[in-house]
Amino acid sequence: MKKTTKLFGIAVFVAAFATTGAGGAYGAYASAFARLPLSFGISTSLISDFGGGVSGRVTEAGTSLVENWLGNEVYWQGSYAGFSSSIFLDAHFVQLSFGYFSSTGSSRARMGGGPATYFDHFLGTPSPTGIEIGLLGKFPVELSPRITVFPLAGIAYRIVVTGGVSVPFSGYNYLSFDPLDSSALWFRLGGGMDFSINQNVFLRGSLSYGVRLRARWENDAINNGPHLAGGVLTGPNHPGVSEGDTRRWVTYDNARLGHGVDVTIGIGFRLR
């Protein structure tokens, strides 16, 4: 009986603590969250991805290219710029966004740094298109009843559904990838401003700079080498391999920095 009474007493104590202690703390946090300004809106952005790609050297070459091409520096790059349209949900210190983006750019391969021979090929116009999911943290500072400014930092995952890196001619197919292989995680840092039109509607503008992690195609190019490019020329003018062997093997060992700037404008509607 005494043991049962003790257990009952402990249970009552724990319940009381949960109600007045931990439970009270949870209630306080929930109450504070409920008082945070909440809004939603739509926005459009100018987006970009400068740089990126991979670099390395010609480590082997066919008979007709050995003297000129061995040791040359080589890089592949696919840059683009475009726009995105998004919807966002804002909880004062945090913003979640989901949107669609479309862009166009250029893909290039360049070789230089060797004794004499080099090339600079334009390899087409990759047009990455897809969806982007973003999560930003910000710290709003009210300068006046109408103007609020904020620093921001966050991440975004840009998922390429169509487009991406593409190489349109034979001999370079080892760098032709599925569009999803151009998807990448971005880290962004910048600032913005809200301008209140009235109590319920505001305009928002922001500027951010971002860097991204390697896309899968860049990792594949580095990890799966050396890569064969070129071929063996045949026909009356090149009856033998020794005269027409234009093959070269490229080993990529470095990913170039992918980075870009986003400029965003939007309109928001306050829920509370």
- The predicted model scores a pTM of 0.76
Is residue 234 scored above 80 in pLDDT?
Answer: no
Q: 105-119, 159-173, 246-260: which has the highest mean pLDDT?
A: 246-260
Average pLDDT over residues 141-150: 96
Q: Give the whole-angstrom CA distance, residue 56 versus residue 248.
A: 13
Query: 223 versus 260: which is more confidently predicted?
Result: 260
The pLDDT value given to residue 222 = 84
pLDDT digits (tens, 9 = 90+) for 118-131: 555 556 667 889 99
The pLDDT value given to residue 68 = 60
* 62, 73, 122, 224, 240 from 111: Cα distances, Å: 16, 5, 12, 20, 26
CB distance 209 to 261 below 8 Å: yes
Is residue 75 scored above 80 in pLDDT?
Answer: no
Instruction: Count Cβ atoms within 10 A of the Cβ of residue 227 and give its class: 0-12 exposed, 13-18 middle, 19 or more buried.
Output: buried
The pLDDT value given to residue 69 = 60
DSSP H helical ranges for the chain: 2-17, 23-35, 66-69, 216-223, 241-244
Q: Which stretch of 104-118, 164-178, 249-263 has the lowest confidence by average pLDDT?
A: 164-178
Percent of the chain at pLDDT > 70 equals 63
Is residue 190 scored above 80 in pLDDT?
Answer: yes
CB distance 85 to 129 below 8 Å: no
CA 218, 127, 175, 183 dihedral sign is positive
Q: Band of the pLDDT at 152, cuts 50, 70, 90?
A: very high
Average pLDDT over residues 81-97: 96
Q: Give the whole-angstrom CA distance, residue 247 versus residue 222.
A: 19
Query: 32 versus 88: which is more confidently predicted?
Result: 88
Average confidence score pLDDT of the chain:
78
The pLDDT value given to residue 24 = 57
Q: Give the whole-angstrom CA distance, residue 68 versus residue 230.
A: 15
CB distance 43 to 264 below 8 Å: yes
| DSSP code, position 209 | E
